[in-house]
Structure 1
Amino acid sequence: MKKTGLVLGKFAPLHRGHQYMIETALKEMDELHVLIYDSDLIEVPLHVRSRWIRTLYPKASVIEAWDGPQEVGDTPEIMKKNEDYIIERLQDVKITHFYSNEFYGDHVSKALGAENRQIDRNRDAFPISATMIRENAFRHKEYIHPLVYDDLIVKVVFVGAMSTGKTTICSRLAEKYNTVWMPEYGREYWEKHQVNRRITAEQMVEIARGHIEREDKLSYDVNKYFFIDTNAITTHMFGMDYQGYVLDELEMMALKAQSRYDIYFLCCDDIPYDDTWDRSGDQKRHIFQKQIIADLKERKIPYVELKGSLEERIGVVDRVLARFRKYDNPASLAYK
C-alpha cells in the first residue's frame, strides 16, 4: 500500500525541529504533502515560508493555505473547523500517516483515518520553538537553517561615491548594534590587482561575485542588522566608468542587487575629501555622486540620504531602523 504523509503548520519560522519532522516523514513515506498556513504571528509572507520548504525539500508537495483557519484549540468547534479545511484542501489525496508533535495530532489523524506519527513530542532532540526564535533569532540561530536565517535579517547597504564615509559608518553601526558588517571587497581587490590604476571588465565581474560570496558567508553571523559597504550596482558603475561597458554577468548581478537589500542609504559628498593615492580627486567624487543618484532613480530604488557629521548620519539610520519592518510596504512609510 502506498504510504502518503502529511505535515502541517505555519512554520513561522521554519526551524530544525520542523525540519526533523519533515525529514523523518520523507524517509518513511512514498509521498509527502506539507500544508502551510498564512499567519499574523510573523511578518514573513506565506510564499516566502513556502519557498524555504520547496527549496530544502523539493520532493515534498507544498500546499499554501491562504484561507486556512487561524484558530488553535481543543474545543469541538475549532477542531471540526480545522479537520474540515484539511480534508477539503487535500481533495482526493488519501493520507495514511499524519506527522506532528502537537496535541492536534490525535484528532486530525482520526479525521483523516491516518496513523498518528508523533515526532519529538517533548522536544528532546530539538529544544526549540518558533516563539523563541521570533523573540530572538540571533540567540537561537543554531536551530535555523542559513536559508531561513537570511530572510530574517535586515540587509542595509550604503552607497555613494568614493570618500563619502561608507566604511566609517558601517563599522560604527556594527559596533553599536553588536553585529557584523561587510567591507567593500572592490577596494581590496583593486589594490591587489590594478595595473596603472585600471582593471579589466572580467575583473569587475570577479569583484561583484566575490563581494556577494563574502556577504553570504557573513550573513549567518548577523545579529538582526547587516551593514554592507557598497554592492554590485556600485561595481557596475565603476565598470561603466572604466571600460564604458560591463559584461552580462555583472549586469545581471546589478539587477538582482535592486531587491537583494532591504534598505539603501546614500552617503552624501558633503564631508571633506580624503585624497588618498587610489582616488581620482574631489571633482571626480562629485561627478560620480551625481551618476550614482541618477542610477538609483533610474532603477527606482528608494534610498535615504545621509548628510552631516557621523553622529548626525547615525541618528538618521537609527530612526529609519526603528520604523523599518522587513516585509512592510515601503511606500507606507511616507504616511507614518
Structure 2
Amino acid sequence: MNPQKEFGLGVVIGKFLPPHRGHHFLIDTAISRCAAVVVIVCEKPGDPVPGALRQAWLQEMHPAADVRLIDDRYDENDSRVWAENTIRWLGRAPDAVFTSEHYGDAYAAHMGCRHVMVDQPRQAVPCSGTIVRNDPFAQWEHLSPPVRGWYAKRIVVLGAESTGTTTLAKALSEYFKTWWVAEYGREYSFEKQSRGETNWRTEEFMEIAREQTRREDLAAREANRILICDTNSFVTTLWHRRYMGFDSPALNDLAKHCRADLYLLTGDEIPFVQDGLRDGEAIRHEMHRWFEEGLIGQKGSPWILVRGPAETRLAQAVAACSFMAS
C-alpha cells in the first residue's frame, strides 16, 4: 500500500444516473485516500442513460480509478448479497467503501471493511441523480462536459444553397450565448476546389458526415444547454443526391443515428448570392423541396420553416427554440 494513503483498495458503487458533481466529489475523495479505487456502475434494463456511457464518462473524468459496469439484478436493500457480489467482482474484500448513503454501514460490515461517509447531507454538492434527470438544464453547473453533451439540445439549421443557414446559425448562437458548429462540407468543398478537383465520390460524403458529427459531439460538451448546428449528417445525404445523382444506402444508414431536437428550414424566397463556391442556383428551389420532403419523412424530429428577412427569421427561430433553453 502507498504509505501516504490511508487505505489500500477502496470501492465506490452506485447507479450514477447520470454522473454529476456530487459523484465526482465522492470518487475524488476515495482516490485521495486509497492506493487503488474501483468504481462499480450498476445498470438495469431500461435505464434512461445506457450503463456503458456512464462507465465511459466516469472513466474519462477519473482516469486514476478502475470503472466497471455490472448487471444490476439484485435486491437493492439486501446488503449481504451486494457485499458478497462485490467481493466476487473484486476478487477480495476492499479496505474501505465510500458512499453518501446510510446503506454503506451494513454493506461495509458484511465485507469486514470501513465505511467512509462522504457529504451525506449533500451540503458540499447539493445535487442528486433524480434532480438532474427531472431538470438537467437547471443543474447544468453540476454536470461534467460529457454529460452535458448527452443532455444538450441540438438545433439544426438547414436549407438549400444561399438561403441564409449560416447567418441564422450564427445569430442563434449569439442570442443563446452558446456554441455553433459550422458546415464542414463547405470547408471540404473549398479545399477540394482549390486543388482543382470536380468529381465527387460517395466516400467523400461519408467522410464529411462523420467529421460533421464528430465536431458536433465535441461542441455539445461545451454548449450552454443548446447547440446550434449549421447542417448535420442528414443534410449530407441530400447533398450526396445533388452531386452524385443517387442516394447512398450506407450514408443514409449513417445519418439515421444523427441527433436533432429541432430542425429549422430556411426558406428559398430570398435572392441567390454567389460566393464563389455555389453552383446550384438553377436547382435551388428543387433542393428546397427535397429538404421539405426529407424532413416530413423524418420520425421524431420536429421542424419549422423560417422565412422573411434575417430579423424575422431569427424571431421565428428563437420562439421555436426558447422552450428548450429555459
Please give the TM-score of this superposition, normalised by the length of structure 2.
0.71
CA distance in 2, matches of 1:288, 1:22: 57
From 57, 64, 70, the equivalent of 1:62 is 70
Map of 2:90 onto structure 1 = none
Map of 1:102 onto structure 2 = 100
Unaligned runs of 5+ in 1: 39-44, 69-81, 327-336
Structure 1 residue 291 corresponds to structure 2 residue 290: yes
The superposition leaves residues 206-226 of structure 1 with CA deviations (integer Å, 9 ceiling, x where unpaired) of 322222232233222211110
SS class of match (1:217)? helix
CA distance in 2, matches of 1:245, 1:200: 12
Unaligned runs of 5+ in 2: 1-8, 60-65, 88-92
Structure 1 residue 311 corresponds to structure 2 residue 311: yes
Map of 1:7 onto structure 2 = 13
CA distance in 2, matches of 1:324, 1:93: 42
Q: Report the aligned-residue RMSD.
A: 4.0
Report how many residues are paired.
Answer: 293
> Residues 28 and 211 (structure 1 numbering): CA distance in 2 closer, same or farther, change over 3 Å?
same
CA distance in 1, matches of 2:101, 2:118: 12
> Residues 215 and 6 (structure 1 numbering): CA distance in 2 closer, same or farther, change over 3 Å?
closer
> Residues 256 and 237 (structure 1 numbering): CA distance in 2 closer, same or farther, change over 3 Å?
same
CA distance in 2, matches of 1:7, 1:24: 17
Per-residue deviation at 1:301?
A: 5.0
Map of 2:176 onto structure 1 = 177
CA distance in 2, matches of 1:27, 1:302: 48
The superposition leaves residues 277-326 of structure 1 with CA deviations (integer Å, 9 ceiling, x where unpaired) of 32235441110011122222334353322323333333333333343499
From 17, 21, 24, the equivalent of 2:25 is 17
Map of 1:46 onto structure 2 = 47
C-alpha contact (below 8 Å) 2:166/2:182 kept by paired residues:
yes
Map of 1:34 onto structure 2 = 41
C-alpha contact (below 8 Å) 1:268/1:305 kept by paired residues:
no
> Residues 266 and 27 (structure 1 numbering): CA distance in 2 closer, same or farther, change over 3 Å?
farther
Give identity over the alignment, percent.
20
CA distance in 2, matches of 1:171, 1:213: 20
When structure 1 is superposed on structure 2, of 272-281 and 260-269 the one drifting more is 272-281
CA distance in 2, matches of 1:108, 1:265: 54
> Residues 100 and 196 (structure 1 numbering): CA distance in 2 closer, same or farther, change over 3 Å?
closer
Map of 1:93 onto structure 2 = 85
> Residues 157 and 94 (structure 1 numbering): CA distance in 2 closer, same or farther, change over 3 Å?
closer
Map of 1:227 onto structure 2 = 228
